[in-house]
A and B are shown apart, each in its own frame.
Chain A
């Protein structure tokens, strides 16, 4: 399904503005500032790209006294996000966009079934005004980025371009402590080494997976990384560690580094 775009979506894409269809309408969820800055950076928005995936997450129980990754859940979270993202990217490809800016990736739980999760990826497809193809991702397809329009402009002016939104996920079961262990430490402040090491392992797995994606995209670095923890309605001891960021490469020709202005430092008076 990911490569085949439904007929009504194709109809919508055909109505969008493009070189072949200059009277078409562009759609985007940009704010005014974002819109102006994306244009200032030399890009034109062409259309909103959407990818959705409703996913039934399988069941897996961690063994009560053990720290361990819940591979079934990790794979589910990863696979579902990947599906939503690739569907969004297929839409961008169909409208011949050079990239997608301001991707928002969200997860919703569906009320009637606790194992059903809805993944939504939405962003604005953009094309370079002068038709440069140098902004495409390493596979020739559109780049993806969760950066806002402002950040997109800032990134280009720092001498980098976005390549791909990269992520790493690890759903982890943190072991329960035995009753005797709990009694032993009743009157003192002690580190729960088992829990600490669970955090370390889970976080490391998530970061390594994200870094692996960045390497595969042949990126120089990853900017705007957030590493955070969440629980999507699982038991209390199950946590998802999720690392996400935008893989970047230095600009080669589009904006020569000597054209890049020095930043002006601002001390804000309305802190």
Chain B
């Protein structure tokens, strides 16, 4: 575009109209998110997908479509949610806050398209560094199960569709994301953590600090998970410790720990006292329904059948120079 075109751009009625439409769209997005609703344009798209007027959109792989067929799982739409948070008070706590907000918004989009569940939910963050802030983004595929009416509280599963039905077959429902996050500062008044001249000895202050921080983080994780299901598969354990030195002041240490987990709902543990009480003291063990067989995996390299690690990429970015 030449300079002349560029200068002219402001007065072009088409561009002007596009700018106004964009301004309206953004005002609506902000207003809707504040009140916990799905923004109008997105709601229209989701309605189109729900009624079948628009093509469905799925992040599922072709092999997963096959499972979808065998288990009556129908993809509806690719949905997403974002909360861009500025952490002026606490980076650590911000992670719990940010993911929680994004999760609520994702559930709202899932409701808007009449889904029973959202599968293949990936946690993401853009690699743009802007003033102590980070975006918490969730992307997944809203699905419905044949014969079920739309759910009021669609479940959010961080596992891909294949693993989702694998868990369902075993009577386990992956139903949400739980976060446990805690940080603490410790001031080393007596300089005990400085052990330069000592031999083999535990640094008790620092051990203690870690112990406290991790226990608190796991406590939050349990509380957060308890509202959604009765167990977690904790895929991300992230911790950091820093030393801060200020002149003429005792050293300070900061420790932080963040746990991110897939929440599952498991029928009351087999063999637990509660379960035995329910079953006249008789212990029913219920193994997986599938038979076990040796198979040759046809996938070269990465396969959708193994591992969930790449689906939890919140702590790296998916942005690589050279990718599409």
Residues of A within 8 A of B (CB): 31-34, 37, 58-60, 67-69, 71-72, 105-109, 147, 150-152, 154-155, 157-160, 174, 177, 182, 185-201, 203-204, 207-208, 210-211, 214-215, 219-231, 236-237, 239, 242-245, 247, 260, 262-268, 270-271
Contacts and interface: CB of A to CB of B under 8 A. Distances in A.
B300 A196 contact: no
Interface of B: 1, 6, 15, 18-19, 22, 25-26, 29-30, 33-34, 39, 41-42, 45, 54-63, 65-70, 75, 78, 80, 82-90, 93-94, 97, 101, 126-131, 133, 135, 137, 139, 141, 165-166, 169, 288, 290, 292-293, 295, 297-300, 303, 305-307, 318-324
Contacts of B75: 221
B63 A228 contact: no
A154 B19 contact: no
A20 to B, nearest CB: 32
Contact of A263 (B54, B66, B141, B292): B66
A230 B127 CA distance: 8
B69 A158 contact: yes
Contact of A223 (B65, B82, B101, B305): B65
Contacts of A239: 126, 128
The secondary-structure label for the interface of chain A is mixed
Contact of A227 (B78, B84, B299): B78
Given A189-B90, A239-B128, A263 B85 contact: no
B1 A72 contact: yes
22 contacts: A69-B22, A72-B1, A158-B66, A174-B128, A177-B131, A185-B86, A188-B88, A189-B85, A191-B85, A196-B82, A197-B29, A199-B135, A210-B57, A214-B55, A224-B59, A224-B60, A224-B62, A231-B319, A236-B129, A264-B295, A266-B295, A271-B307
Contacts, number: 231
A117 to B, nearest CB: 11
A164 to B, nearest CB: 11
Contacts of A191: 83-86, 101
Contacts of A177: 130-131
Contact of B55 (A34, A222, A236, A243): A222
Contacts of A174: 128, 130
Contact of B58 (A199, A222, A266, A267): A222
B295 A230 contact: no
Contacts of B89: 187-189
Contacts of A150: 63, 298-300
Contact of A154 (B15, B66, B83, B97): B66
Contacts of B54: 211, 215
A71 B290 contact: no
Interface centre among B15, B128, B324 (most CB of A within 10 A): B324
Given A34-B300, A158-B69, A265-B169, A189 B94 contact: yes
Contacts of B135: 195-196, 199
B249 to A, nearest CB: 21
B306 to A, nearest CB: 4
B65 A192 contact: no
Contacts of B29: 196-197, 200-201
B25 A182 contact: no
Contacts of A67: 22, 26
Contacts of B101: 191
Among all A-B residue pairs, the 9 with the closest Cβ atoms: A155-B62, A195-B84, A221-B56, A158-B66, A158-B65, A154-B62, A154-B63, A197-B29, A214-B55
